[in-house]
Structure 1
Amino acid sequence: MVLTIELLDSKRHNRSVFSCGNDSLDNYIRKSASQDLKKKVATVFVLIDSPSTDIIAYYTLSFYTLDINNLNEAFAKGLPRYPLLPAILLGRLAVDSNRQGQGLGGVILIDAMKRALRTTEQVASVAVVVEAIDENAVAFYQKYGFQQFKEYPFKLYLPVKAIEELCQRFDI
């Protein structure tokens, strides 16, 4: 068996057995993810343990805009004073309940950061933004250096410069 992260293929990947314990994340991968992918609203990446096609984790990426006034001053002072800045949204990230506690959340987060960094070589972005689903998710993202928005404690961001450092630290 080999862990592989791939673009969601609704004809190939088995979404029906995925269950992370959160109805909204479970329903998204089962019912909405392929439509978001088809309509270019989000790109959905899945982790499988090949040759099985059962999804054991997933995440989504899309473009986003940041209001500079919501960023902490240390980060914002080095940026142009445009009212909105380009970013990448890590919209959803989930690991199947049967595989939680094995470090797979970190594996797919690092993969998402690597893809986001590669994207910034083609299309500018100052940070990756996440909207944490609960306080445990906030703590998870903070372990990787994400910072909370000033007025939105469940919304966090990681500057692209920090992503570069993270990728170097993990030698990816």
Structure 2
Amino acid sequence: MAQPTLSAPELLNSCHDLSRFSCGKPTLDHWLKTRSLANQQKGFTVVIVVHVANRVVGYYGLAPTAIIPTALPRSIRTGQPPNPMPCILLGQLATDQAWVGQGIGTGLFNHALARSVNGAALIGGRALVVNAVDEDAASFWCRRGFLPSKDDALVLFRSIADIASSLKAADSAAHDH
């Protein structure tokens, strides 16, 4: 029997089965199961999922946000920024524990980065913001170029310009092979 294939990232809809999703972080599981679809329908968040036969095995959420400039790392704050400064929030990013190690989280992360750069090109946005659920998550984001807030080590930032240049570098490296 053929193994069911993983979908491409797509917008969450009511046909997706969220009931069995478990990433090991109860707050992320709970948000997906109870708030994600309503938040998306109300225009608060865009939720992108990957699934196998409609069973969601990974997801992330993106939303516009605004940050007080003094909370931002100096390298991102530069010049005379508006107060608050427009940013994009990567509110959630999680992979079902049964699917960890198959590149789903990395794929979703890269998809979120590309979407954030495209979104900022359309409407503005200085940085991508993440709220890490714990210190393990914060170190995950730090390894990916995010800088902690001056006020809270669990709130991290990476400038859209930095993300765009890293995506361009990865893209040109891929084309060189």
Q: What is the TM-score normalised by the length of structure 2? A: 0.89
Counterpart residue identity of residue 32, structure 2: I
Q: For 1:4-53, what per-residue CA distance to the aligned partner results, in whole angstroms no more than 9, with x for missing partners? A: 1000011x21111111112211111111111001111111110124xx11
Secondary structure of 1:164's counterpart equals: helix
Secondary structure of 1:153's counterpart equals: coil
CA shift, 1:103, in A, is 2.9
1:48 aligns with 2:51: yes
Counterpart residue identity of residue 157, structure 1: F
Counterpart residue identity of residue 106, structure 2: G
Secondary structure of 2:67's counterpart equals: strand
Residue 9 and residue 95 in structure 1: after superposition, are their counterparts in 2 closer, same or farther (change >3 A)? same
Residues matched between the structures, number? 168
Rounded to whole Å, the distance in 1 between the matches of 2:81 and 2:100 is: 41
1:72 aligns with 2:48: no
State the partner residue of 2:175. none
Rounded to whole Å, the distance in 1 between the matches of 2:32 and 2:76 is: 34
Rounded to whole Å, the distance in 2 between the matches of 1:55 and 1:169 is: 31
Rounded to whole Å, the distance in 2 between the matches of 1:93 and 1:58 is: 6
Q: Which runs of 5+ in 2 are unaligned?
A: 173-177
Q: For 1:115-135, what per-residue CA distance to the aligned partner results, in whole angstroms no more than 9, with x for missing partners? A: 011111210100000000011
State the partner residue of 2:16. 13
State the partner residue of 2:147. 147
CA shift, 1:153, in A, is 0.1
Counterpart residue identity of residue 28, structure 1: W
| Alignment RMSD (CA, Å) | 1.5
1:36 aligns with 2:35: no
CA shift, 1:143, in A, is 1.8
CA shift, 1:71, in A, is 1.6
Q: Equivalences for 1:1-172 in 2 at 5 Å? A: 1-10=5-14, 12-49=15-52, 52-77=53-78, 79-171=79-171
Rounded to whole Å, the distance in 2 between the matches of 1:83 and 1:152 is: 19
Residue 92 and residue 153 in structure 1: after superposition, are their counterparts in 2 closer, same or farther (change >3 A)? same
Secondary structure of 2:171's counterpart equals: coil
Counterpart residue identity of residue 73, structure 1: R
CA shift, 1:111, in A, is 0.4
Rounded to whole Å, the distance in 2 between the matches of 1:80 and 1:163 is: 21
Secondary structure of 1:27's counterpart equals: helix
Q: Which runs of 5+ in 1 are unaligned?
A: none
**Which structure: greater strand fraction?**
1
Rounded to whole Å, the distance in 1 between the matches of 2:91 and 2:164 is: 20
Q: For 1:77-130, what per-residue CA distance to the aligned partner results, in whole angstroms no more than 9, with x for missing partners? A: 2x4332211000001111101012333222111101100111112101000000
Secondary structure of 1:170's counterpart equals: helix
Q: Is the 8 A contact 2:67 2:85 kept in 1?
A: yes
CA shift, 1:165, in A, is 1.8
